[in-house]
Amino acid sequence: MSDSTEVVHGGLQASELAALGLTPTMVLDLSASLNPRGAHSSVIVAAVEADLRRYPPPHAEPLRDALAARANLEADQVLVTPGATAAIHLVARALLAPGDACRIFPPTFGEYAAAARNAEAVILEGPGEEAARLTVLCNPNNPTGEYLGRRPVGELLEEVSAAGGVLLLDVAYDPFVEGAWDADELVRAGGSILVVHSTTKLHAIPGIRLGYLTGRADLIARVGRLQPSWAVSSTAIAAGLAGLRVEEQQRWAAAEVTRSREELTSALRAADIEVRDSRANFILVRVGDASAFRRRLLPRGFAVRDCTSFGLPEWVRVAIPQEGALIRLARAFIETYREDPPA
Protein backbone atom coordinates (compact mmCIF):
# COMPACT_ATOMS: atom_id res chain seq x y z
CA MET A 1 0.00 0.00 0.00
CA SER A 2 1.30 3.45 -0.90
CA ASP A 3 2.57 5.79 1.81
CA SER A 4 0.70 8.69 0.24
CA THR A 5 -2.16 10.14 2.25
CA GLU A 6 -3.83 11.55 -0.84
CA VAL A 7 -6.94 9.57 -1.71
CA VAL A 8 -8.15 9.24 -5.29
CA HIS A 9 -11.92 9.67 -5.51
CA GLY A 10 -14.15 9.18 -8.48
CA GLY A 11 -16.35 11.89 -9.87
CA LEU A 12 -17.32 13.49 -13.11
CA GLN A 13 -15.07 16.40 -14.05
CA ALA A 14 -16.23 19.28 -16.26
CA SER A 15 -12.88 19.32 -18.07
CA GLU A 16 -13.24 15.65 -18.96
CA LEU A 17 -16.70 16.20 -20.39
CA ALA A 18 -15.58 19.25 -22.35
CA ALA A 19 -12.76 17.25 -23.94
CA LEU A 20 -15.35 14.79 -25.22
CA GLY A 21 -17.71 17.51 -26.41
CA LEU A 22 -20.23 16.64 -23.71
CA THR A 23 -22.15 18.75 -21.19
CA PRO A 24 -23.19 17.64 -17.68
CA THR A 25 -26.82 17.31 -18.79
CA MET A 26 -25.79 14.72 -21.38
CA VAL A 27 -24.31 12.30 -18.81
CA LEU A 28 -25.97 10.55 -15.86
CA ASP A 29 -23.37 10.47 -13.10
CA LEU A 30 -23.40 7.02 -11.50
CA SER A 31 -19.91 7.38 -10.03
CA ALA A 32 -21.41 8.87 -6.85
CA SER A 33 -23.73 6.52 -4.98
CA LEU A 34 -26.59 8.79 -3.92
CA ASN A 35 -30.31 8.39 -3.40
CA PRO A 36 -31.75 7.83 -6.90
CA ARG A 37 -34.83 9.81 -5.87
CA GLY A 38 -32.64 12.91 -5.53
CA ALA A 39 -32.92 15.61 -2.91
CA HIS A 40 -36.27 16.48 -1.37
CA SER A 41 -37.33 20.02 -2.29
CA SER A 42 -37.84 20.98 1.36
CA VAL A 43 -34.21 20.18 2.14
CA ILE A 44 -32.99 22.34 -0.73
CA VAL A 45 -35.28 25.19 0.32
CA ALA A 46 -34.11 24.97 3.94
CA ALA A 47 -30.47 25.14 2.85
CA VAL A 48 -31.09 28.11 0.57
CA GLU A 49 -33.03 30.00 3.23
CA ALA A 50 -30.55 29.42 6.08
CA ASP A 51 -29.60 32.61 7.91
CA LEU A 52 -26.03 33.36 6.86
CA ARG A 53 -25.83 36.66 8.73
CA ARG A 54 -25.17 35.01 12.09
CA TYR A 55 -22.81 32.34 13.37
CA PRO A 56 -24.29 28.86 13.52
CA PRO A 57 -24.67 27.18 16.91
CA PRO A 58 -21.11 26.29 17.97
CA HIS A 59 -21.68 22.54 18.06
CA ALA A 60 -24.77 22.25 15.83
CA GLU A 61 -26.81 21.77 19.00
CA PRO A 62 -30.32 21.86 17.44
CA LEU A 63 -29.41 19.16 14.93
CA ARG A 64 -27.35 17.19 17.45
CA ASP A 65 -30.25 17.09 19.89
CA ALA A 66 -32.74 16.09 17.18
CA LEU A 67 -30.47 13.29 15.97
CA ALA A 68 -29.98 12.06 19.53
CA ALA A 69 -33.71 12.02 20.21
CA ARG A 70 -34.42 10.11 17.01
CA ALA A 71 -31.78 7.49 17.86
CA ASN A 72 -32.86 7.23 21.53
CA LEU A 73 -29.45 8.49 22.65
CA GLU A 74 -28.26 11.27 24.92
CA ALA A 75 -27.00 14.48 23.33
CA ASP A 76 -23.46 13.77 24.55
CA GLN A 77 -23.50 10.55 22.51
CA VAL A 78 -23.73 12.45 19.20
CA LEU A 79 -21.21 14.63 17.38
CA VAL A 80 -22.30 16.44 14.20
CA THR A 81 -19.47 16.83 11.69
CA PRO A 82 -18.93 18.50 8.30
CA GLY A 83 -19.29 15.20 6.46
CA ALA A 84 -18.66 11.55 7.28
CA THR A 85 -15.07 11.81 6.02
CA ALA A 86 -14.36 14.55 8.54
CA ALA A 87 -15.68 12.24 11.27
CA ILE A 88 -13.32 9.45 10.16
CA HIS A 89 -10.27 11.72 10.31
CA LEU A 90 -11.30 13.16 13.69
CA VAL A 91 -11.60 9.66 15.15
CA ALA A 92 -8.16 8.66 13.86
CA ARG A 93 -6.60 11.80 15.33
CA ALA A 94 -8.35 11.29 18.66
CA LEU A 95 -7.73 7.59 19.15
CA LEU A 96 -4.50 6.76 17.32
CA ALA A 97 -1.01 7.67 18.51
CA PRO A 98 2.09 7.21 16.34
CA GLY A 99 2.85 3.50 16.10
CA ASP A 100 -0.65 2.34 17.11
CA ALA A 101 -2.27 -0.28 14.92
CA CYS A 102 -5.37 0.41 12.82
CA ARG A 103 -7.10 -2.51 11.14
CA ILE A 104 -9.05 -2.10 7.89
CA PHE A 105 -10.66 -4.60 5.54
CA PRO A 106 -9.75 -3.82 1.91
CA PRO A 107 -10.95 -3.25 -0.67
CA THR A 108 -12.73 -0.40 1.06
CA PHE A 109 -13.05 3.38 1.30
CA GLY A 110 -9.60 4.93 0.94
CA GLU A 111 -10.06 7.60 3.62
CA TYR A 112 -9.69 5.01 6.40
CA ALA A 113 -6.09 4.28 5.48
CA ALA A 114 -5.40 7.96 4.79
CA ALA A 115 -6.68 8.95 8.23
CA ALA A 116 -4.57 6.26 9.88
CA ARG A 117 -1.45 7.37 8.00
CA ASN A 118 -2.04 10.98 8.99
CA ALA A 119 -2.05 9.79 12.60
CA GLU A 120 1.22 7.89 11.92
CA ALA A 121 -0.47 4.60 12.75
CA VAL A 122 0.48 1.16 11.47
CA ILE A 123 -2.12 -0.25 9.08
CA LEU A 124 -3.16 -3.88 9.40
CA GLU A 125 -5.15 -5.28 6.48
CA GLY A 126 -7.82 -7.94 6.88
CA PRO A 127 -8.51 -10.29 9.79
CA GLY A 128 -5.60 -11.15 12.05
CA GLU A 129 -4.44 -12.00 15.54
CA GLU A 130 -2.56 -8.77 16.19
CA ALA A 131 -4.48 -6.33 18.40
CA ALA A 132 -5.43 -2.95 16.94
CA ARG A 133 -6.24 0.24 18.77
CA LEU A 134 -8.80 1.11 16.09
CA THR A 135 -10.64 -1.28 13.78
CA VAL A 136 -12.62 0.20 10.89
CA LEU A 137 -15.48 -1.59 9.17
CA CYS A 138 -17.61 -0.23 6.33
CA ASN A 139 -21.09 -1.82 6.33
CA PRO A 140 -22.34 -2.09 3.63
CA ASN A 141 -18.84 -2.04 2.25
CA ASN A 142 -17.76 0.44 -0.38
CA PRO A 143 -17.12 -0.65 -3.16
CA THR A 144 -18.26 -4.29 -2.88
CA GLY A 145 -21.74 -3.78 -1.40
CA GLU A 146 -21.23 -6.66 1.05
CA TYR A 147 -23.44 -6.26 4.12
CA LEU A 148 -22.92 -7.94 7.48
CA GLY A 149 -25.72 -8.71 9.87
CA ARG A 150 -25.99 -7.79 13.54
CA ARG A 151 -24.37 -10.99 14.80
CA PRO A 152 -21.03 -10.90 12.91
CA VAL A 153 -20.58 -7.19 13.61
CA GLY A 154 -21.39 -7.80 17.28
CA GLU A 155 -18.85 -10.60 17.39
CA LEU A 156 -16.22 -8.35 15.83
CA LEU A 157 -17.02 -5.66 18.40
CA GLU A 158 -16.52 -8.19 21.20
CA GLU A 159 -13.12 -9.17 19.80
CA VAL A 160 -12.05 -5.56 19.39
CA SER A 161 -13.22 -4.61 22.89
CA ALA A 162 -11.50 -7.62 24.49
CA ALA A 163 -8.22 -6.41 22.97
CA GLY A 164 -8.74 -2.90 24.36
CA GLY A 165 -9.64 -1.34 21.03
CA VAL A 166 -12.47 0.65 19.49
CA LEU A 167 -14.60 -0.31 16.49
CA LEU A 168 -15.36 2.46 14.00
CA LEU A 169 -18.41 1.32 12.04
CA ASP A 170 -19.21 3.31 8.90
CA VAL A 171 -22.85 2.88 7.90
CA ALA A 172 -23.04 5.64 5.27
CA TYR A 173 -24.93 3.44 2.81
CA ASP A 174 -27.18 1.43 5.11
CA PRO A 175 -30.28 3.60 4.43
CA PHE A 176 -30.41 1.83 1.06
CA VAL A 177 -30.28 -1.70 2.51
CA GLU A 178 -33.71 -3.27 2.74
CA GLY A 179 -34.13 -4.79 6.19
CA ALA A 180 -31.03 -3.10 7.59
CA TRP A 181 -30.47 -3.50 11.30
CA ASP A 182 -29.96 -0.43 13.49
CA ALA A 183 -26.22 0.04 14.11
CA ASP A 184 -26.98 2.38 17.00
CA GLU A 185 -28.21 -0.66 18.92
CA LEU A 186 -24.54 -1.32 19.66
CA VAL A 187 -24.13 2.23 20.94
CA ARG A 188 -27.17 1.97 23.19
CA ALA A 189 -25.71 -1.27 24.57
CA GLY A 190 -22.64 0.67 25.71
CA GLY A 191 -20.13 -0.95 23.38
CA SER A 192 -16.64 0.32 22.58
CA ILE A 193 -17.89 1.62 19.26
CA LEU A 194 -18.27 4.77 17.22
CA VAL A 195 -20.76 4.76 14.33
CA VAL A 196 -20.27 7.03 11.33
CA HIS A 197 -23.47 8.24 9.68
CA SER A 198 -23.73 10.22 6.44
CA THR A 199 -26.64 12.57 5.84
CA THR A 200 -25.65 13.49 2.31
CA LYS A 201 -26.04 10.01 0.76
CA LEU A 202 -29.67 9.56 1.80
CA HIS A 203 -30.63 13.11 0.90
CA ALA A 204 -28.48 13.33 -2.28
CA ILE A 205 -26.82 16.57 -1.18
CA PRO A 206 -23.06 15.83 -1.26
CA GLY A 207 -22.31 19.51 -1.81
CA ILE A 208 -23.52 20.15 1.75
CA ARG A 209 -20.98 18.41 3.92
CA LEU A 210 -22.90 16.82 6.77
CA GLY A 211 -22.41 13.68 8.82
CA TYR A 212 -22.39 12.64 12.44
CA LEU A 213 -20.93 10.19 14.92
CA THR A 214 -22.76 8.24 17.58
CA GLY A 215 -20.99 6.45 20.39
CA ARG A 216 -20.23 6.17 24.05
CA ALA A 217 -20.15 9.61 25.67
CA ASP A 218 -16.49 9.41 26.69
CA LEU A 219 -15.43 8.47 23.15
CA ILE A 220 -17.55 11.22 21.62
CA ALA A 221 -16.00 13.72 24.05
CA ARG A 222 -12.47 12.69 23.03
CA VAL A 223 -13.27 13.13 19.36
CA GLY A 224 -15.29 16.30 19.88
CA ARG A 225 -12.40 18.08 21.57
CA LEU A 226 -10.56 18.07 18.23
CA GLN A 227 -13.40 19.70 16.30
CA PRO A 228 -13.46 23.51 16.49
CA SER A 229 -16.55 25.52 17.22
CA TRP A 230 -18.74 26.43 14.22
CA ALA A 231 -17.36 23.51 12.19
CA VAL A 232 -20.84 22.78 10.81
CA SER A 233 -22.39 25.58 8.78
CA SER A 234 -25.84 27.10 9.17
CA THR A 235 -26.65 25.77 5.70
CA ALA A 236 -25.78 22.21 6.71
CA ILE A 237 -27.69 22.44 10.02
CA ALA A 238 -30.81 23.73 8.28
CA ALA A 239 -30.60 21.01 5.62
CA GLY A 240 -30.08 18.36 8.28
CA LEU A 241 -33.10 19.43 10.32
CA ALA A 242 -35.26 19.53 7.20
CA GLY A 243 -33.91 16.12 6.22
CA LEU A 244 -35.06 14.60 9.48
CA ARG A 245 -38.62 15.70 8.71
CA VAL A 246 -38.62 13.84 5.38
CA GLU A 247 -36.25 11.02 6.27
CA GLU A 248 -38.90 8.31 6.30
CA GLN A 249 -40.06 9.00 2.76
CA GLN A 250 -36.46 9.33 1.54
CA ARG A 251 -35.82 5.87 2.96
CA TRP A 252 -38.58 4.48 0.76
CA ALA A 253 -35.89 4.49 -1.93
CA ALA A 254 -34.49 1.28 -0.41
CA ALA A 255 -37.22 -0.85 -1.97
CA GLU A 256 -36.77 0.82 -5.35
CA VAL A 257 -33.00 0.37 -5.11
CA THR A 258 -33.41 -3.32 -4.39
CA ARG A 259 -35.68 -3.89 -7.38
CA SER A 260 -33.49 -1.89 -9.73
CA ARG A 261 -30.27 -3.46 -8.47
CA GLU A 262 -31.62 -6.96 -9.02
CA GLU A 263 -32.92 -6.06 -12.48
CA LEU A 264 -29.62 -4.50 -13.54
CA THR A 265 -27.58 -7.37 -12.08
CA SER A 266 -29.72 -9.92 -13.93
CA ALA A 267 -29.41 -8.05 -17.24
CA LEU A 268 -25.62 -7.83 -16.98
CA ARG A 269 -25.21 -11.44 -15.89
CA ALA A 270 -27.40 -12.55 -18.79
CA ALA A 271 -24.78 -10.91 -21.02
CA ASP A 272 -22.05 -12.99 -19.28
CA ILE A 273 -20.73 -9.99 -17.32
CA GLU A 274 -19.40 -10.69 -13.83
CA VAL A 275 -21.26 -8.80 -11.08
CA ARG A 276 -20.62 -9.07 -7.34
CA ASP A 277 -23.61 -9.63 -5.07
CA SER A 278 -24.51 -6.36 -3.33
CA ARG A 279 -26.96 -5.12 -0.72
CA ALA A 280 -26.12 -1.45 -1.26
CA ASN A 281 -27.22 1.18 -3.78
CA PHE A 282 -24.39 0.23 -6.13
CA ILE A 283 -22.92 -2.84 -7.79
CA LEU A 284 -19.34 -3.87 -8.56
CA VAL A 285 -18.82 -5.10 -12.12
CA ARG A 286 -15.75 -6.67 -13.78
CA VAL A 287 -15.06 -5.00 -17.14
CA GLY A 288 -11.36 -5.56 -17.89
CA ASP A 289 -9.51 -2.25 -18.10
CA ALA A 290 -11.70 -0.15 -15.78
CA SER A 291 -10.23 3.20 -16.78
CA ALA A 292 -10.65 2.52 -20.50
CA PHE A 293 -14.16 1.16 -19.99
CA ARG A 294 -15.20 4.26 -18.10
CA ARG A 295 -13.92 6.51 -20.88
CA ARG A 296 -15.74 4.50 -23.56
CA LEU A 297 -19.00 4.54 -21.62
CA LEU A 298 -19.08 8.32 -21.14
CA PRO A 299 -20.15 9.19 -24.72
CA ARG A 300 -23.04 6.77 -24.26
CA GLY A 301 -24.35 8.99 -21.46
CA PHE A 302 -23.18 7.33 -18.22
CA ALA A 303 -20.31 7.88 -15.78
CA VAL A 304 -19.24 5.04 -13.49
CA ARG A 305 -16.55 4.77 -10.80
CA ASP A 306 -13.24 3.33 -11.94
CA CYS A 307 -12.16 1.18 -8.98
CA THR A 308 -8.44 1.17 -9.72
CA SER A 309 -7.84 3.33 -6.63
CA PHE A 310 -9.49 0.59 -4.53
CA GLY A 311 -6.91 -1.87 -5.87
CA LEU A 312 -9.46 -3.25 -8.35
CA PRO A 313 -8.24 -2.13 -11.80
CA GLU A 314 -10.62 -4.49 -13.64
CA TRP A 315 -13.77 -3.37 -11.87
CA VAL A 316 -16.17 -0.44 -11.93
CA ARG A 317 -18.74 0.58 -9.33
CA VAL A 318 -22.13 1.54 -10.71
CA ALA A 319 -24.67 3.46 -8.63
CA ILE A 320 -28.25 2.32 -9.01
CA PRO A 321 -30.21 4.93 -11.00
CA GLN A 322 -33.93 5.63 -11.08
CA GLU A 323 -35.94 2.82 -12.61
CA GLY A 324 -36.59 4.80 -15.77
CA ALA A 325 -32.89 4.78 -16.69
CA LEU A 326 -32.28 1.06 -16.19
CA ILE A 327 -32.93 -0.23 -19.71
CA ARG A 328 -30.84 2.50 -21.29
CA LEU A 329 -28.01 1.91 -18.79
CA ALA A 330 -27.98 -1.85 -19.31
CA ARG A 331 -27.90 -1.45 -23.09
CA ALA A 332 -25.09 1.12 -23.01
CA PHE A 333 -23.11 -0.94 -20.52
CA ILE A 334 -23.37 -4.18 -22.51
CA GLU A 335 -22.49 -2.47 -25.78
CA THR A 336 -19.42 -0.87 -24.22
CA TYR A 337 -18.36 -4.13 -22.58
CA ARG A 338 -18.60 -6.09 -25.81
CA GLU A 339 -16.23 -3.69 -27.55
CA ASP A 340 -13.36 -5.02 -25.45
CA PRO A 341 -14.36 -7.80 -23.01
CA PRO A 342 -11.86 -8.92 -20.37
CA ALA A 343 -9.80 -12.02 -21.09
Domain spans in the chain, listed from the N-terminal domain onward:
14-30+252-339, 41-249
User: What tens digit of pLDDT does each residue of 19-46 get?
Assistant: 888 888 899 999 999 999 999 999 999 9
Q: What is the mean pLDDT of residues 122-141?
A: 96
Domain 41-249 CATH class label: alpha beta
User: What tens digit of pLDDT does each residue of 211-243 get?
Assistant: 999 999 999 999 999 999 999 999 999 999 999
User: What tens digit of pLDDT does each residue of 144-201 get?
Assistant: 999 999 999 999 999 999 999 999 999 999 999 999 999 999 999 999 999 999 999 9
Where are any strands of DSSP class E within the chain? 28-29, 78-81, 101-104, 122-125, 134-138, 166-170, 193-198, 211-215, 282-286, 302-303, 305-306, 315-319
pLDDT over 90 percentage in the chain: 92
Domain 14-30+252-339 CATH class label: alpha beta
Which of 285, 225, 261, 200 has the alpha carbon at shortest distance from 90? 225
